[in-house]
Structure 1
Amino acid sequence: MGIISLLFNPRRRKTAMALAKAARERGMTVAEFTSSLSREDLARYVAPDKKAPHVTVPDVTKFGLPPDADVTADTFVSDREIDEAERAFVSGDWKPAAQLLSEIGTGWDRRTILVRSLGEAVANDEAALDLWRDERPGDPDAAAVNAEGLVCLAWQVRSSLRAEHVSREQFQKFFAILESAKPAAQEAAALAPEDPTPWVTMLAVARGLQYENDAFREVWEQLVARDPHHLPAHNSALQYWCEKWFGSHELMWAFAEEGAAKHPKLARLPLVAAHEADYRGVKGAWRNPLVAPAVDRLLPWLDGEGRDDPGTVTSRAYAARALVELGRGEEAVEQFRHLGVHADALVWAYGNKGRIAEFKRVRYLACRLVQKA
């Protein structure tokens, strides 16, 4: 909208002036201020237009959803035991984490989630891990956490920015740390030959070190030989097969289809693929013929056997997005009821205004679909 046309439209001029004044009072630009507003807040600044059709912004609380102000992007750990073990580890006590890893046993998905959370803590402070390894030399669980910690540190150094925004020095440090993570993961794998967890870490190493497709497949074969239905591993591998890394849309969809056929919990994969393709500008990505059947396979599992699965919260976030895209408002709202205030899933991170804004945007759309039904 050009500035001249804005000035000659009284309604838009009043709206622009009101927004500019409010932004100035808060020491913000108009763009910063408007991006911070919910749709209800923004609607209050818009002068009424008798000629324009009346559009009602849904009151999400009437659909059994928490108000906008309560939505948070803070990391949500639905597993209380993992949350408590991580908190103790961060404070310097490694024993609760070691005990929980022992109790988890062959619950590989849950084990990987705990090892990953401990690895993120180690990337910031190695004190608890050092105590653990000093007291228990050769402990396979400590070795797995050490390897994952190096991977987390490498990605912390690289940052989550696109490659063109990462400095040469950052890349050099990133590759150097990953090179040290590789033997660390191999050591962890040797100490626990049946455990897929070190191989999940190796998938991240392989992606970061830019393995060719065949070399990546060799790592993948080691992983699935230990757990063919490992959800965190499938999520990691799907990223490798995306066009933005070392695959293509065709390879990504093929991998998603193959995984979804293995187990209902892996039916999330076509939804992740659709989200990735949509973000890359592929028209009609959500209408891919794999998406609707994947949703129909995933939802019963989320409400049944998978209700307490470690990956359920994230799967519900992808399901909510997919259901909105498919025009299935009632089912989408139900998923948002399960999600509550939590907007930390990766699916919400791709919007230009941040996770909270994207979460609320899709949630509004779900409610609008119900209104129109």
Structure 2
Amino acid sequence: MTSATSGEAGRSGTSPVPSFDPFDTLPELAPLRTAAANGDWAATRTFFTGLDSAEKVTFAADVLGDIAGVETYLEQAAADAPADPLPRTLLAERYIHLGWETRGRAPATHVSLEQFDRFHAWLRKAERILIEVCAEQPENAPAWTARLLTARGLGLGLSEARRRYDRLSSHHPHHYAAQMQLLQQVCPKWGGSWEAAHGLARECTSAAPDGSHAGALVALAHLEHWMDLDGAAHKAYLRDVSVRNDLRSAARVSVLHHDYRPGWQWIDAHSAFAMAFSLGGHFEDAAPHFAALGDRAAEFPWRYLNDPKAAFVKYRTSALATL
């Protein structure tokens, strides 16, 4: 689906409540949902082997990993075919989701020692699998992307996270899912700095071909920075003209570029820009992103707001009124 096609849908009519469920917003994922619901490994394997890009495989692995209970049939599949890296990679992804669900999204000071113990146990379990997979398949994009999450959660540090990203990017340059994970790592909340976060976003955007998703990292970096501020600085940050101009430039070379290649992460990328522009009060700039989205949205970064669906509808109404 192209952004132009989805934009027409957005202008012709939108649902009062957006969907944040990737299975609803991306109909191409329907066979994976059915396979997971049935615990059908053969159908799951057929789905993944039919995908035509590392980006889609990584995206689908993340979506599958978020489904409760899939570890049961993935464990069986991994046991039945121990030499096959696919069930092991998907199983490790599920373990990572279980770990982060255990930890929750609260700051570390609000996470109990018991939660941390269980969180780290899941991540170590996943890491052991992924070390083997990456040794067997150094080009395995979803496995390396998953190892950015285990590196962060296990506190392995910035250098190790960058090493893992570099190993992945040597085979898959401009891999957006991995770039999003590395961006989280270089933010101050995980031991980095705002200089590093904005620098990474600019680095990835300038290195990528025009029309890639990478420009959305600029929006994500600004949203992370905004989240970290308090009081007047928090309110003023995204309204700043220099921030607005930075967002405009990034949007022009990415999701608004005539060579834009949407893939399955177009909803994530447009959501980042729509939210960042809206929070800054730049509704004319937000309008093309909401027009593209229609009634679709990505949970991240909208989950940063208290009532994501209500906020989306409010800002979408303001933005589309400018068209």
Alignment of 1:1-373 (within 5 A): 64-68=12-16, 70-104=17-51, 107-121=53-67, 124-263=69-208, 264-281=212-229, 282=233, 283-285=236-238, 287-288=242-243, 290-301=246-257, 304-307=259-262, 309-324=263-278, 329-330=283-284, 332-352=286-306, 354-367=307-320, 370=322
TM-score, scaled to structure 2: 0.85
Q: Per-residue deviation at 1:203?
A: 0.1
Give the counterpart letter for 1:246 in structure 2.
G
Q: Write the distance in 1 (CA, Å) between the matches of 2:173 and 2:105.
A: 29
TM-score, scaled to structure 1: 0.74
Give the counterpart letter for 1:223 in structure 2.
L
Q: Write the distance in 2 (CA, Å) between the matches of 1:77 and 1:244.
A: 32
3-state SS of the aligned residue for 1:299?
A: coil
Q: Which runs of 5+ in 2 are unaligned?
A: 1-9
Deviations 1:165-207 (A, max 9, x none): 3221011111122122211111121232222221101000000
Q: 1:179 to 1:233 in 2, by over 3 A?
A: same
Q: Per-residue deviation at 1:65?
A: 4.2
3-state SS of the aligned residue for 1:306?
A: coil
Deviations 1:32-74 (A, max 9, x none): xxxxxxxxxxxxxxxxxxxxxxxxxxxxxx9644253x43444
RMSD: 2.5
Q: Write the distance in 2 (CA, Å) between the matches of 1:113 and 1:67.
A: 25
Q: Write the distance in 1 (CA, Å) between the matches of 2:150 and 2:187.
A: 16
Number of residue equivalences: 304
Q: 1:67 to 1:183 in 2, by over 3 A?
A: closer
Contact 1:73/1:344 (<8 A) preserved: yes
Give the counterpart letter for 1:260 in structure 2.
T
Q: 1:367 to 1:126 in 2, by over 3 A?
A: closer
Deviations 1:108-133 (A, max 9, x none): 11010111222223x63423213322
**Worse-matched range after superposition: 77-86 or 242-251:** 77-86
Q: Write the distance in 2 (CA, Å) between the matches of 1:338 and 1:119.
A: 27
Q: 1:362 to 1:337 in 2, by over 3 A?
A: same
Q: With a CA cutoff of 8 Å and minimum separation of 6, indicate the structure with the bigger relative contact order.
A: 2
Give the counterpart letter for 2:66 in structure 1.
E
Contact 2:198/2:218 (<8 A) preserved: yes
3-state SS of the aligned residue for 1:218?
A: helix
Contact 2:70/2:94 (<8 A) preserved: no
Q: Which runs of 5+ in 1 are unaligned?
A: 1-61
Q: Per-residue deviation at 1:328?
A: 5.5
Give the counterpart letter for 1:291 in structure 2.
L
Contact 1:147/1:188 (<8 A) preserved: no
Q: Write the distance in 1 (CA, Å) between the matches of 2:42 and 2:290.
A: 36
Contact 1:189/1:195 (<8 A) preserved: yes
Deviations 1:184-240 (A, max 9, x none): 111121232222221101000000011222222222221211211100000111011
Q: 1:212 to 1:63 in 2, by over 3 A?
A: closer
Q: Write the distance in 1 (CA, Å) between the matches of 2:125 and 2:11.
A: 51
Q: Write the distance in 1 (CA, Å) between the matches of 2:250 and 2:184.
A: 18
3-state SS of the aligned residue for 1:300?
A: coil
Contact 2:75/2:91 (<8 A) preserved: no
**Worse-matched range after superposition: 358-367 or 174-183:** 358-367
Q: Write the distance in 1 (CA, Å) between the matches of 2:289 and 2:13.
A: 10
Q: Write the distance in 1 (CA, Å) between the matches of 2:141 and 2:160.
A: 17
Deviations 1:14-45 (A, max 9, x none): xxxxxxxxxxxxxxxxxxxxxxxxxxxxxxxx
Q: Write the distance in 1 (CA, Å) between the matches of 2:293 and 2:69.
A: 29
Q: Write the distance in 1 (CA, Å) between the matches of 2:65 and 2:32.
A: 13
3-state SS of the aligned residue for 1:290?
A: helix
